[in-house]
Amino acid sequence: MSSIVIGTAGHIDHGKSSLVQALTGKNPDRLPEEKRRGITIDLGFADLDLGDVRVGFVDVPGHERFVKNMLAGAHGIDAVALVIAADEGVMPQTREHFDICRLLGVGHGLIVITKTDLVEEDLLSLVRAEAEELVAGSFLEGAPIIPVSARTGAGLEELRETLRQVAAQTPARLADFVTRLPIDRVFTMKGFGAVVTGTLVSGQISEGDELELLPTGARVRARGVQVHGEAVRSAAAGQRTAVNLAGVELSAIERGMVLADVGRLTTTQILDVHLEVLDSAPRALRTRARLRLHIGAAEVLGRVRVLSTQSEIAPGKSGFAQLRLETPIVALHDERFIIRSYSPPITIAGGVVLDPIATKHRGRELEKAAERLHELMQPERIKKITAFVLAAGDQGLKLEQLIARTGLKDAVLAGALNEARHEGSIADADGVFISPDNLERLADGVVEAVKSHHQHDPLSRGLPRELLRERLFSHAPPELFRAVMNRLESKNKLVTEKDLVRLCEYTVELSTADSNLRDKIAAIYEAAQLEPPTLEQALEKAGVGSAQRAHGRKILQMLLDEGKLIRAQGDMFLHITAMSRLRGLLQDFASQHEPERLIDVPQFKELAGVSRKYAIPLLEYLDSERITRRAGDKRLILK
Ligand SMILES: Nc1nc2c(ncn2[C@@H]2O[C@H](COP(=O)(O)OP(=O)(O)O)[C@@H](O)[C@H]2O)c(=O)[nH]1
Ligand SMILES: [Mg+2]
């Protein structure tokens, strides 16, 4: 059996609650104060079995003071029953509620003219004409208009039949989105703990499910699930749902929070949106205006920044804007919302979220931002996703970041990304999605950086990989850097050797003078063997003037890179032949002193043929290389 959620809408005292009661047999006014005063203050719920369809009614308060409560229930409805009393006709909240439904993108519904028992036929046709005029050009144009009396029961049968038709025309919810239930009511049930209710906007909730409560991020478990007052194993998208939660205190939950799949959605305080300001708004919506955002079941305060040079949107006009909120909320691309002025709180605008996790735009980037938002308004999913990826620039977006923006299920999004990849509109860089142009630009930037390093420092073997990452990828995910480097390496443009990145074809080419100098330095160390000069002495001996010392050190570095020289201690370098001779001498000495294999400093001096000045640093170097190990005041020669 299918089920839909129908919301009432209309002015106070027009008979909304009486109508719901007449249809369902249940009084939706549940609070004692509501019963005593005879007015609806908060949302009421009742359901109606129409045979092949189950209607969940969300009965809203009509009083202007309680529009905020109305909004908490109106966001999730499939269709609206716009209620107009025959004896009063269209009144202020008839218009306001209707505007709200229109701005929220409610696509279906009907008009009910109530209290027909109070008027003559001619007044009834007047009200009917008034209603038609109100909805002309909207989603309710041409919708059924059913006159009823809750008191006499007249018209109720026709209303039931019409509700059945409306239900049949209302499309089922898409199965493409992760679980999301904006909470519109919280209470405790004796012995059960916290219970939350709401319209399950998408996904499903089953008994035992682990869920996340946002914006706090608290983990909770669905201990029990009810739909229409009956325990069920699982609630489906589009159903009025009650969930008994384990793992959370009642005081930690409030209306407006969202119950969602774990780890899929995130919170946000900056949203890029498209806004439509109502004709009836008293003035233009201006940048910096403080306002109330109603999204899902939440109400938060924030300020608007109009993304155009005019810095305002006039009544009856629409445009792009950024909302900056005072508290975090959950919002998704394509989600509808309502804007009310801060004071007095009246409905002035509504719109749709384009980028729910936006960044601040600078003044001169406004046009570019608006252009990008225009792309996000296209209906095709692949184009939207491509627009998100493009907007992420050279940082790209990961799957989870795209989920948090779109609310799409992993597999659905992965499918769309795959298609976009085949089309060539998105590149996949190790799980980071990025526009092919940006990826190309990044790769070019890396090659350029390495090239310029070679130019500036021709004797260096390459640019340290980590430096490259910090310079060009400091804000990007590490996967992206890795992917770009792998790409360049597999295309034989770059090689990484010992954490140094160089162009594939790059070899250090020396001038004749430099190559002579290199040979000279090597010869000086080879001749000195185990009593090497200091670096300064060696360079001086090789004829490097004090102004060229830095250059001389680079040449020496090349000898180190090639393995001809070894750095023993600080400024002390050894020629490779000196080192291998020393190893040989030590092993010979050890085999003659088995099994102890011990050598003291005087013995070492004699063996190596060096003075104490060289013996001590040499031994320390041998220790650090694990060729010898200290044993009291002697050394053990390791095998
Ligand atoms: N005569 C008459 N009175 C009605 C009818 N429906 C509701 N009422 C009365 O109108 C008043 C407001 O009704 P209520 O359902 O609370 O209106 P709501 O504020 O729109 O929910 C109550 O006193 C109802 O008894 C009707 O069809 N005929
Ligand atoms: Mg009511």
466-502 residue pLDDT tens = 989 998 888 888 899 999 999 998 888 888 887 888 8
pLDDT of residue 79: 95
**Mean pLDDT over residues 296-311, rounded?**
94
Q: Which ligand is nearest to the CA of 29?
A: 2
Would the pLDDT of 559 be above 90? no
Torsion of CA 324, 325, 331, 336, to 10 degrees: -80
CA distances from 235 to 24, 145, 197, 206, 241 (A): 21, 32, 12, 6, 7
Helix or strand (DSSP H, E) at 357: none
Would the pLDDT of 586 be above 90? yes
Q: Are 499 and 465 in contact (CB under 8 A)?
A: yes
Would the pLDDT of 29 be above 90? no
Query: 463's torsion region: left (phi>0), alpha (psi -120 to 50) or beta?
Result: beta
Q: Are 212 and 262 in contact (CB under 8 A)?
A: yes
Determine the distance separating the centroid of ligand 2 and the alpha carbon of 344, expressed in angstroms: 23
Q: Are 90 and 18 in contact (CB under 8 A)?
A: no
pLDDT of residue 314: 97
How far is C-alpha 632 from the geometric centre of its chain's CA atoms?
A: 61
Whole-number Å distance between alpha carbons of 309 and 349:
20
Residue ID of nearest Cα to ligand 1 atom 2: 115
Phi and psi angles of residue 184, each rounded to the nearest 5 degrees, phi first: -110, -5
The number of the ligand 1 atom at minimal distance from the alpha carbon of 12 is: 19
Percent of the chain at pLDDT > 90 equals: 72
pLDDT of residue 569: 85
Handedness of CA 36, 37, 41, 43 (dihedral sign): positive
CA distances from 301 to 13, 291, 298, 318, 389 (A): 30, 6, 10, 21, 29
Determine the distance separating the centroid of ligand 2 and the alpha carbon of 9, expressed in angstroms: 9
Strands (DSSP E) found in 70-184: 79-85, 108-114, 145-147, 180-182
Determine the distance separating the centroid of ligand 2 and the alpha carbon of 73, expressed in angstroms: 13
Determine the distance separating the centroid of ligand 1 and the alpha carbon of 102, expressed in angstroms: 25
The number of the ligand 1 atom at minimal distance from the alpha carbon of 21 is: 15
Whole-number Å distance between alpha carbons of 587 and 292:
83
Determine the distance separating the centroid of ligand 1 and the alpha carbon of 114, expressed in angstroms: 8
Residue ID of nearest Cα to ligand 1 atom 19: 13
SS3 state at 435: coil
The full 3-state SS of 151-163, as one line of letters, equals CCCCCHHHHHHHH
CA–CA–CA angle 413, 417, 419 (5° rounding)? 120
Tell me whether residue 136 is exposed, middle or buried, using C-beta atoms within 10 angstroms of its C-beta: 0 to 12, 13 to 18, 19 or more: exposed
Q: Are 72 and 184 in contact (CB under 8 A)?
A: yes
Q: Which residues contact 597 (CB under 8 A, 6 or more apart)?
A: 590, 636, 637, 638
Would the pLDDT of 182 be above 80? yes
Angle between helices 67-74 and 92-103 (to 10 degrees): 30
User: 87 has which bridge partners?
Assistant: none
Determine the distance separating the centroid of ligand 2 and the alpha carbon of 38, expressed in angstroms: 8
Work out the end-to-end distance of the chain between its first and last CA atoms, rounded to an integer number of angstroms. 82
Q: Are 382 and 291 in contact (CB under 8 A)?
A: no
Phi and psi angles of residue 8, each rounded to the nearest 5 degrees, phi first: -80, 160
pLDDT of residue 423: 92
Whole-number Å distance between alpha carbons of 620 and 374:
69
SS3 state at 463: strand
* Helical ranges in 142-299 per DSSP H: 156-169
Whole-number Å distance between alpha carbons of 356 and 43:
27
* Of 487, 356, 495, 358, residue with least CA distance to 427: 487
Percent of the chain at pLDDT > 70 equals: 100
Q: How confident is the model at residue 211 (pLDDT cuts 50, 70, 90)?
A: very high
As given in the structure block, the two tokens for residue 579 are 């080192």
Q: Are 197 and 254 in contact (CB under 8 A)?
A: no
pLDDT of residue 208: 96
Whole-number Å distance between alpha carbons of 381 and 396:
18
Q: Are 233 and 191 in contact (CB under 8 A)?
A: no
Q: How confident is the model at residue 247 (pLDDT cuts 50, 70, 90)?
A: confident
Q: What is the DSSP letter of 247?
A: S
Q: How confident is the model at residue 172 (pLDDT cuts 50, 70, 90)?
A: confident
pLDDT of residue 560: 87
Determine the distance separating the centroid of ligand 1 and the alpha carbon of 150, expressed in angstroms: 8
Residue ID of nearest Cα to ligand 1 atom 7: 15
SS3 state at 343: coil
pLDDT of residue 3: 84
Q: b/e string for 527-537 if b means 16 or more Cβ within 10 A?
A: ebbbbbbebee
Q: How confident is the model at residue 145 (pLDDT cuts 50, 70, 90)?
A: very high
Would the pLDDT of 598 be above 80? yes
pLDDT of residue 38: 84
* Of 461, 466, 503, 502, residue with least CA distance to 481: 466
Give me the half-sphere count of Cα atoms (radius 13 Å) on the Cβ side of residue 445: 15
Would the pLDDT of 173 be above 90? no
Q: Which ligand is nearest to the CA of 15?
A: 1
The number of the ligand 1 atom at minimal distance from the alpha carbon of 14 is: 20
Question: Which residue out of 18, 26, 37, 67 has the highest number of ligand 1 atoms within 8 Å of its CB and is therefore the one to mutate?
Answer: 18
**Looking up tokens 């969930």, which residue turns up?**
243
Residue ID of nearest Cα to ligand 1 atom 9: 15
Q: Which ligand is nearest to the CA of 60?
A: 2
Q: How confident is the model at residue 36 (pLDDT cuts 50, 70, 90)?
A: confident
CA–CA–CA angle 184, 185, 191 (5° rounding)? 150
- The mean predicted confidence, pLDDT, of the chain is 92
Residue ID of nearest Cα to ligand 1 atom 28: 115
Digit-coded pLDDT (tens) for 514-552: 889 989 999 999 999 999 999 999 999 989 888 888 888
Q: Which ligand is nearest to the CA of 97?
A: 1
Residue ID of nearest Cα to ligand 1 atom 1: 115
Q: Which ligand is nearest to the CA of 156?
A: 1
Residues with CB under 6 A from ligand 1: 12-18, 38-40, 62, 114-115, 117-118, 149-151
Determine the distance separating the centroid of ligand 2 and the alpha carbon of 16, expressed in angstroms: 5
Q: Residue 235's CB: how many other CB atoms inside 10 A?
A: 26
Digit-coded pLDDT (tens) for 330-343: 999 999 999 999 98
As given in the structure block, the two tokens for residue 329 are 């909320």
pLDDT of residue 91: 97
Torsion of CA 618, 624, 630, 635, to 10 degrees: -40
Digit-coded pLDDT (tens) for 90-127: 999 999 999 999 999 999 999 999 999 999 999 999 99
Determine the distance separating the centroid of ligand 2 and the alpha carbon of 230, expressed in angstroms: 24
Q: Which residues contact 492 (CB under 8 A, 6 or more apart)?
A: 504
The number of the ligand 1 atom at minimal distance from the alpha carbon of 20 is: 15
How far is C-alpha 208 from the geometric centre of its chain's CA atoms?
A: 27
Determine the distance separating the centroid of ligand 1 and the alpha carbon of 18, expressed in angstroms: 5
Question: Which residue out of 12, 13, 64, 119 has the highest number of ligand 1 atoms within 8 Å of its CB and is therefore the one to mutate?
Answer: 13
Q: Which ligand is nearest to the CA of 16?
A: 1
